[in-house]
Chains A and B, each alone.
Chain A
Amino acid sequence: MARRIWRMTWLLGYLIVIDILIFGAALPVGAETPRQGGTLVYGLETEPGVLDPHIFGPWATARVVMHIFDALVTFDTTTGSTRPPIVGQLATSWDISPDGKIYTFHLRQGVKFHDGTPFNAEAVKANIERMTDKESPYYFERASARQRVAWRWLEKTEIIDDHTIRLILSQPFSDFLAYLADKQQPSAMISPTAMKKYGNKQIAQHLVGAGPFKVVEQVPGEKVVLERFDGYWGKKPYLDRVIIRPIPDPASRVLALQTNEVDVITIPPPDSKDQLIQQGFNWMQGDVHHIWHIPLNLENEYIKDKKVRQALNYAVDKKGMAQYVLNNTVIPAMHGITMPTAPSWDPELTVYEYNPEKAKALLAEAGYPDGFKIKFQVSTAGSGQLLPVPMMEYIQKNLRDVGVELEIDAYEWLSYVGMWIQGAKPDVAGMQMSTGRPYDHWLSRVLHSKNDAPVGWNNGHVKDPVLDDLMDRATVEPDAAKAAALWKQAVQRTAEEAYSLTIAHDLMPMVLGPNVKGFKFPHLEWFSFRETWLEKK
């Protein structure tokens, strides 16, 4: 007996030593222990506006909404990966039928909305009906219009049991999950009890989600106060409160950070970078789904010539622009019309390096040895537009060097968007836009002939059957690797044909106070502070 006890003690001791070795090695020396509590103040670059998850627009608003509403699926921004993976949030898993048309979602159990309403398949159905079903009591026309692209091929929703729901599509859609995770918007879940009680027009004042924070106060122009939801199904946030404070003026935003009035700011002015880093602030930037480009208008008399389009691409010094105009807060767009976070991104494909001599030669070949005069339209400011007018002036100087006179036609943001969605008029050579998504079906929205403006985002009126075919095949391809290969071919085709003058990819700079810990750069334009904690000052 004594020998058995002795042997057991040895085994136990041995296991303890092994445990210490394994877990001790896994823990970095001096790792910081997250501190519970505290209020984080976030200086947002704009008024967040309406926080209804199914109708809001700007990426900046998504950074507020994501705290309040959980979705079926989401992009996991906490991994630090440049391609955030799609993970289940209110869905624990899902099955996709071999033909890619049926998605069966297994829902998380034991989840409650902020008002205590249980989350189940009925709640999912009610939310989807809000965006898709005219006959439903939950239907909201604006939500339907806003989320049309995500749900366009949804044919039917079937409740299998309390925690399983099946979505049946009319055709396979390889980026369907990515669309559902986009800004965590189409699959964001609102409490059906709240929807019934407040109706579509009042719900924005009574936001009831199943996210880690709940809204305690909304004062337009002043603040949105979020408080930790103790009934949250997942890992509880460290922070007691997150206060979102709109500070639209960039210089004021920086000063508010420097004077400790806010802990985090986004979109600081590029020229504040060196000073803030010197002062000990944590300047973060990285690849995100963003491209600043000028879709070239194929209905313009000069632009319809492929050689002219290629010449314009060679004529612009994108590296110089990134360095001198934007202080390296962007990277030059040298890899075609895609984004660093999309599967079609191919660093091997480098196109149109700055070469004014080649540009001149191409213009001469096209029959314009003395150049010509064209017009680009641009917004004066706007969501994700960086510094549109100085950037366009830089392009103007570059084009003048190869003999092309550029007229810049600048408009206030919403006037510009109104014109942009109508498509470029024949006298306009191109209309600048900055946009992007972390998935590739975005390309089809921008380049497919079916999406020619004003129906879709094909602002430059590209009508290329070869490109359409590649994108159609990629859209329905269920195998992710094969789909990515097809999208890569589409990017290559677009580059060869020079349908767009690609300029820069924003790195979404943001600045954190030295006391803000646990936040990883999201590699998306939207994020939340659910993993963030504050060190004692």
Chain B
Amino acid sequence: MVRYIVQRLLMLIPILLAVSVVIFVMMRILPGDAAVAFAIESPAELEKIRRDLGLDRPIYVQYGIWFWGLLHGDLGRSIQLEKPVLDILLPQFVNTLILAAGSFMLAIVVGWSVGILSATKQYSLADRLAMLVTLFGVSMPAFWLGLVLMWLFAYELRWLPAAGMYSIRGDKTFWELLNHLILPAITTAAVPAAVIARITRSSMLETIRQDYIRTIRAKGLPERAVVFKHALKNAMPPILNITGLQLGFLLGGAIFTEVIFSWPGIGWQLYSSISGRDYPMVQGFVLLTSCCFVLVNFAIDILTTYVDPRVVLE
């Protein structure tokens, strides 16, 4: 097991390197570079600005400089904000993690409970209603749902704040944060929760129909024990896999949520960095999120071995 973990961790290095090269090249293929944003006032000076930003050098030299910095723990400086990338990304990453964690928990709690309930009460009114709601959940774009929630709860009912992570005039308390987290978390969690619910339902249904469940039911075991002790455990591997994958989608969905709710996370920063061709910021962002994505999937793989003894890690 330890060998497997070390191997997987070592695999992380080539994956991240490949991702960083691809993004580095892709960002530079895009028409219009960071110098253009500065040169719009004086186009004749475009080359001067490129030189100042180091964009006049061959792409492999630029990558080499960035990589050398990375080896020294330096992700470079943001072109748009004139600050070290890490100083901007780390606090924003924490903010995104708060949003992602809140949304993820919500997606798991809602997704699993609705899925299990639907499977155990198949074709009941509750099941049909739940599946209808999840169908809506899967189809609703985050930017639409976010605005509707904001309009209803922030504007019409005045129960929750419309934007930001803390009240701009108030103190940074935990309750303030929780209050501000509810709407963005629901918006981000909507699609993953719906997907998880549907997969949980189908996986549970498949398990419940199996012979051994019929046998233990015939033996007179209480329904709760049948569902939670015997059926759920066997239905878990695909549910876990999909849940892990949803974390990746959730990080992607957070970009829209952060823009709508002005949540000061990396999603919103990525949006403005790509628009401004702030290459070091985009590189830093991709490195960070790729790490997260790979590590979460890795964690899910390990978790799967505990849930399903048939899976052997090699």
Contact = CB atoms under 8 A, between A and B. Distances in A.
A382 to B, nearest CB: 9
A41 interface: yes
B202 interface: no
Contacts of A245: 164, 168, 262
A255 B151 contact: yes
Interface string A300-340: 00000000000000000000000000000000000000000
A221 B99 CA distance: 15
A412 B271 CA distance: 13
Given A201-B77, A414-B277, A421 B39 contact: yes
Interface stretch (B44-52, B106-114, B120-128): B44-52
B81 A49 contact: yes
B209 to A, nearest CB: 47
B158 A220 contact: no
Contacts of B91: 219
Interface stretch (B25-33, B65-73, B210-218): B25-33
B98 to A, nearest CB: 13
A258 B83 CA distance: 34
Interface string A49-91: 1101001010000000000000000000000000000000000
Contact of A258 (B32, B36, B41, B155): B155
A416 B40 CA distance: 11
Nearest to A52: B82
Contacts of B277: 414
Contacts of A417: 32, 36-37, 40
Contacts of B272: 46-47, 221, 248
A49 B80 contact: yes
Contacts of B51: 141
Interface in A247-304: 247-249, 251-252, 255-256, 258-259, 261-262
Contact of B38 (A47, A146, A220): A146
B269 A145 contact: no
B40 A144 contact: no
Contacts of B80: 47, 49-50
B163 A255 contact: yes
B161 interface: yes
Contacts of B189: none
A418 B43 contact: no
Contacts of B102: none
Given A248-B259, A252-B262, A261 B42 contact: no
27 contacts: A47-B80, A50-B80, A142-B53, A144-B45, A145-B38, A145-B49, A148-B45, A201-B82, A204-B82, A204-B83, A220-B264, A245-B168, A248-B272, A252-B147, A255-B154, A259-B154, A261-B161, A261-B168, A262-B168, A414-B37, A416-B32, A417-B40, A421-B40, A454-B43, A455-B43, A455-B44, A457-B43
Interface of B: 30-33, 36-46, 48-49, 51-53, 77-78, 80-83, 88, 91-92, 143, 147, 150-151, 154-155, 158, 161-165, 167-169, 259-262, 264-265, 268-269, 271-272, 275-277
Given A142-B48, A221-B92, A419-B31, 6 more contacts: A142-B53, A221-B265, A223-B168, A249-B260, A255-B163, A418-B33
